[in-house]
Amino acid sequence: MSKLTKLLLLALVGCVFPLHSKSQTPGPGNQILSVTANVEADVSHSTQKKGTFFITPFYEFTRFKKLELVSHTNNYMLWQGETSYDFTSDEIKKYNDNYGTEYTNSMTAVKVGYQLVDGLGVSGYAGVNHFDFKSWVSEGNTQTVSTKYPALTLGLSVDYVKRIGEKLAAMAMGSYNYCNTGTVAVDNNSGQDITSSSLKSMYWEMNLVLAYPCRKLLPYVGVGFTQQFVNSVHEEKIPTTNNQGEEVFNYTEFNSHFRGSAFYGFAGVSYRFAQNLSIYARSSFLNPLRANVGLRIVL
């Protein structure tokens, strides 16, 4: 074997062994890639390799303000017949200029997630939600809609984690939530009886996060954008008399659609009890104002 061939073999061996040794050594890079990709639930140190399942029971409180009216229809079911009226653009503007609209909800749910590939995951959750919605908010004029029974809420999210430094990781996530209250109780100051009411809520969000692990703690901060939609429908019963002097009822259904958008910031921290068990807490501000706590279990 020539001297040149021996030198080439030695160079090849010298390259292969360091690379192999580095790939087998756990370090900050592997720790960063273990960050869970679900910002809406938590950020954790647990393994995020392809094929990983996790389950997260959690509680979340949210308050969103500055919803704006986008359409409103009055459907009249009178003893004389039926008719309807749509708010004009001027009337919608007048409402938005003079009244406020907001909601709060209290949600308890269970989330299940799966890693499609390293760093890329999907998850979904189902739970119950107590929804409190306020429209026509002004001094002495507030109508409140709240769930008479716990409402069903569902959510989906897709997320991705990328290491951008020795320990620093970046994360992106998109999520969707839907809630349907069905029959709800309504408190207003109109003096009329409410015969039926329902409320549907939907929102989507995009989040960008930076996370930096510190032993068993993983603090993180981020920014987000959300767009919220609420459809409130309720019917009032108004007693009256017909042409024959008989007592009858007129019914008016109020069908309102609201929408709101907001940029917000958030911060949170996750604590790892064991390789497959962690607890987290997260809050967002200023709008929506949100608090989220939960337990994450890797299966």
pLDDT in tens, 114-169: 999 888 999 999 999 998 999 988 887 788 887 777 899 999 999 999 888 878 99
Is pLDDT larger for residue 175 or for residue 136?
Answer: 175
Residue 109 located in a structural domain: yes
Q: Look at residue 214 and tell me whether its pLDDT is greater than 60.
A: yes
pLDDT given for residue 123 in this prediction = 95
User: pLDDT tens-digit profile of 87-101?
Assistant: 999 999 999 999 999
Name the phi and psi angles at 69, rounded to 5: -70, 130
Residue 1 located in a structural domain: no
Q: Which of 191-195, 226-230, 290-294 has the lowest mean pLDDT?
A: 191-195
Query: Residue 261: how many CB atoms within 10 A of its CB?
Result: 13
pLDDT band at residue 191 under the 50/70/90 scheme: low
Separation of alpha carbons 151 and 156, rounded Å: 17
Domain that holds residue 224: 14-298
DSSP per-residue letters across 43-64: ---S---TT-EEEEEEEEEEEE
Residue 265 located in a structural domain: yes
Q: Look at residue 255 and tell me whether its pLDDT is greater than 90.
A: yes
Q: Look at residue 287 and tell me whether its pLDDT is greater than 90.
A: yes
pLDDT given for residue 20 in this prediction = 33
Distances (CA, A) of 213 to 30, 32, 86, 136, 249: 11, 7, 54, 46, 65
Number of domains in the chain: 1
Residue 5 located in a structural domain: no
Domain of 274: which CATH number? Answer: 2.40.128
Q: Look at residue 28 and tell me whether its pLDDT is greater than 60.
A: no
Across the chain, mean pLDDT equals: 82
Across the range 27-33, mean pLDDT stands at 40
Residue 260 located in a structural domain: yes
Q: Look at residue 112 and tell me whether its pLDDT is greater than 70.
A: yes
pLDDT given for residue 189 in this prediction = 64
Across the range 171-177, mean pLDDT stands at 95
Residue 6 located in a structural domain: no
DSSP per-residue letters across the chain: --HHHHHHHHHHHHHHHHHHHHHTS--HHHHHHTS-S-TTT----S---TT-EEEEEEEEEEEE---EEEEEEEEEEETTEEEEEEPPHHHHHHHHHH-EEEEEEEEEEEEEEEEEETTEEEEEEEEEEEEEEEEEEETTEEEEEEESSPEEEEEEEEEEEEE-SSS-EEEEEEEEEEEE--SEEEE-SS-PEEEEEEEEEEEEEEEEEEE--BTTEEEEEEEEEEEEEEEEEEEEEEEEE-TTS-EEEEEEEEEEEEEEEEEEEEEEEEEEEETTEEEEEEEEESSSEEEEEEEEEE-
Residue 2 located in a structural domain: no
Residue 256 located in a structural domain: yes
